[in-house]
Amino acid sequence: MSELKSTVEGFSSTMEDVIDKVGQPLKPYIPACARFLIVATFLEDALRIIMQWTEQRMFMEQMRSFPVGLSHLFLFLNVVVMLGGSFMVIAKRYQEYAVYGLLGVVMSQALGYGLLFDMSFLLRNLSVMGGLVMVLSDSIVRRRQMFAALPQVSESSRRTYLQLGGRILLIFLFIGSAFHGDWSFARVLVSLLGLVACLMVAVGFKAKYSALFLVLLLSVSNVLINNFWSVNHNSFRRDFLKYDFFQTLSTVGGFLLLVSVGPGGYSIDEKKKDY
């Protein structure tokens, strides 16, 4: 048993060294790429509302019983906050305000579009919120670096809790998609591997490498399953697939940011450093 454990640990260590060596040239670009992907769904949604303004307004007024003026205001504020918040996240300016604004958009759209109790919508948006929470935790890291000489005890605790919350929220998209769709041997195998990786991310064990595995897995499945570009422009399926595609991209961005900044204090990886 001890020999098997040593073999597994040796293989794991070798793979980690290989991944670190291969990924080293890309490391400086990961945070910027992650931030862009995290807000991708908001940028796409803002553009969709602008391009389909009349249809969106009619839906809010006829299906959701919004008064005429309120429907305009609701859509306008959503577009402004999504565009402004997204660009602030990408530019790393006023990140806390940007994240709070985008979180507000997620909640207001759930209420406004009547999707609060839609389980698929809920799980996907929890993962999107996880990516935003990771951005918030990263902004605290940078602020601590700027004011390193000052006491930062409460800020450190807040960052640690945010990293834990972000990790847990990120995995909900995969958990939801793992049990949705037709079953096959390949799907069961991929789902099991993905669920194990999700568990490892949640507890913070080999979190960076588990998150990287989920980045690759979600990216491949996103292209294969949510291929909206192959669907006719007039088909209603195109909008649904496009929505799922960009939400998955945002979750991928959250996992990428986790790869960059690490799992935080409340994790097995961090505890192991203390020994």
Give mean pLDDT, residues 204-212: 90
User: Within a domain: residue 12?
Assistant: no
Predicted confidence at residue 79, as pLDDT, reads 97
Q: Model-level pTM? A: 0.87
Indicate whether 124 belongs to any domain: yes
pLDDT of residue 223: 93
| Predicted confidence (pLDDT) per residue in 44-56, tens digit | 999 999 999 999 9
Q: Does a structural domain hold residue 7?
A: no
Question: What is the DSSP-derived secondary structure letter of residue 62?
Answer: I
Q: Is residue 15 part of a domain?
A: no
Share of the chain above pLDDT 90, in %: 53
Q: What's the pLDDT score for residue 107?
A: 95
11 found inside a domain: no
| Residue 118 in domain | yes
Count of domains for the chain = 1
Query: What pLDDT, in 10s, does the model give residues 74-104?
Result: 999 999 999 999 999 999 999 999 999 999 9
Q: Which two tokens stand for residue 106?
A: 């997620």
Question: Read out DSSP for 203-268?
Answer: HTSSHHHHHHHHHHHHHHHHHHH--GGGS-TT-HHHHHHHHHHHHHHHHHHHHHHHHHH---SSSH
- What residues make up the domain containing 234? 27-273
35 inside domain: yes
